[in-house]
Structure 1
């Protein structure tokens, strides 16, 4: 295998694929990237056995076709530190010989591992196929991933549940995530071809890698899936992932239906006030108390060691017409949800101990549920 390529072109592709490689693993080949030089260009592949990223690299001049594997992190760091305008030559004569990387007067030799040891997880039938706009997919991820659970024992909550659902008499594509303390549910128009898709749980790591790749895409992203695997095609990049083998809980049962006490508050003023009041305590789990009365909101927090803080909001910032109410929420959870809202936050309460619905007045397709804390 022998080819030449601009440093910037190879660096961009390596950045995409090497990020899925686990730095610490017990299988040496999984630390490597597979390089395949052939007529038509170069293909890079990296995997951790749960996710695989494959990218076809443009602008490569192949002098000798062939395949090898090289340490992904090391190759990426070497290419990253070379001059921006460098022209790179990568040469591997075959067998157990080292791969040479040359750029001007720079010369490095990298150990390789047999191509035969490199696992493939991109095979298999994916019968359900549809396309979704890149901006739409980014929105679904951004509006839900903050609520993904990190508790490994509840593995079925360690991802975003994506499925076709009924909403208002029509079919929608719905994304849901929950960690038991808060729930995020967002929906978009159902893409053509997604009507018969199974409900799938896309793992947290896959979600984060997909979000990074989707940042560079402006047109549609092709999606193909089965009951066990999903593939996203983003231009020259393919991300294939195993799905979480578990049953997502019946989330509709935890969404309250009778919350009739409505508080509307300007997002910017509310978020800034929460941040200031919560600053009295260094404990991430300490609650912020909301004391609500007619068109008036008092936020407060206290720490036995540090003191207490409070801030009032009223006037044009707050709208509330129901009876007095006191309720507490963890500050970080409040901020995670209000970060998704553009201008006006709408809280729908039942009482001070029941789950609260949080919504964006301008975005009815997004809904959040937040569990209160004792204050």
Structure 2
């Protein structure tokens, strides 16, 4: 194999591949990226046995072939090469090395046989549809903060993507929860997605997927089966196993009888929470919200380091209420609001609180209160 590529094209392809590779693994081949050159394209494939990414890039292929080389080492080399450099990758089959040449720089890297590289088995997908990158980005970006990191509740370690009944008919929905907060985001149901099986997309896959969704208008081909999910652009294909588990019935957690309504500028609210939480060294310090007519007082009492209080003007016309929340959870939920106003719906100091963006019901968040 011998190919010549522009440095920026090679860097993009290799960065996507090396981010999937697990730094600590006991199988040497899994630290490598599989490089295959044919025609006028080079394919870079990496896997951790749960996720596989395949990135195709244009190149001048002088000699077709394939090999595997350390993904992290190749990425570091290409990253440090000067912009605009022309990079030549050439395989020396007799020595079992891959030479990387750019200008006066020359590297020789150890390789492993491409035959040893595990390629994820292709499966039959029950549902295939196309979605705009902007739609998928909103679904996953607004829900991923609530993914649980608790390994014992593995079925909460991802985003549950499924078809559900929304406010305006059936919708493509993403839900994540860790038991303390919940995010439920709806988008218009796309043609071909009607019979999609509900799947839990793992946290790592959600992170890798984000790199495919930068161009709002790009079309992403989505394929879903009971065991795998695949997202593909014209150049990159990301395939992942889904979490083998049953996502809990989240609808029972979303309160429907909360009538006390608070409307507040989302930006002002987030900044005020951040300011009063500064006096506490504990990440989980409770912020107390004292609500009275058109008035909200935020306060933190940290016996070790001090107290803080801030008052902000709000729209609130119900009975006075005192309720406490984890400052970190409040900030994460408030930061999801794209519109100017955040609407909080309360019941009592001990019940879950609902939050949405203005009058938009396609994004709903739930947060559990804390004792203060």
Q: Is the 8 A contact 1:214 1:234 kept in 2?
A: no
- C-alpha distance in 2 between matches for 1:360 and 1:106: 53
Q: Alpha-carbon deviations, 1:26-83, whole Å to 9, x = none?
A: 111010000001123211100111111101111x111111110000000111111111
**Quick one: distance in 1 between partners of 2:215 and 2:357?**
27
Paired residue secondary structure (1:18):
helix
CA distance in 1, matches of 2:288, 2:365: 19
Whole-Å separation in 2 of the counterparts to 1:281 and 1:319: 28
Match of 1:292 in 2: 291
User: SS of the counterpart of 2:240?
Assistant: strand
Aligned residues: 371
User: Structure 1 residues 169, 279: CA separation in 2 closer, same or farther (over 3 Å shift)?
Assistant: closer
> Per-residue displacement from partner, 1:292-312 (whole Å, max 9, x unpaired)?
011111110011111111011
**Matched position secondary structure for 1:322:** coil
Deviates more, 1:217-226 or 1:334-343: 217-226
216-225 or 271-280: bigger deviation = 216-225
Write out aligned runs for 1:1-375 (5 A).
Answer: 1-58=1-58, 60-94=59-93, 97-168=96-167, 170-216=169-215, 218-314=217-313, 318-341=314-337, 342-375=339-372
Measure, in 2, the Cα distance between the counterparts of 1:216 and 1:298: 41
Q: Bigger shift: 299-308 or 242-251?
A: 299-308
Asked if the contact 2:159–2:175 (Cα under 8 Å) also holds between the matched residues in 1, the reply is: yes
Q: Which deviations, in whole Å up to 9, do the C-alpha atoms of 1:185-209 show, x marking residues without a partner? A: 0101000000001100000000011
Deviations 1:272-318 (A, max 9, x none): 1111111110100110000101111111001111111101112xxx1
Q: Which runs of 5+ in 1 are unaligned?
A: none
User: Please, what TM-score do these two structures have when normalized by structure 1?
Assistant: 0.97
Q: Please identify runs of 4+ aligned residues in structure 1 that moved more than 2 A.
A: 93-96
TM-score (norm 2): 0.98
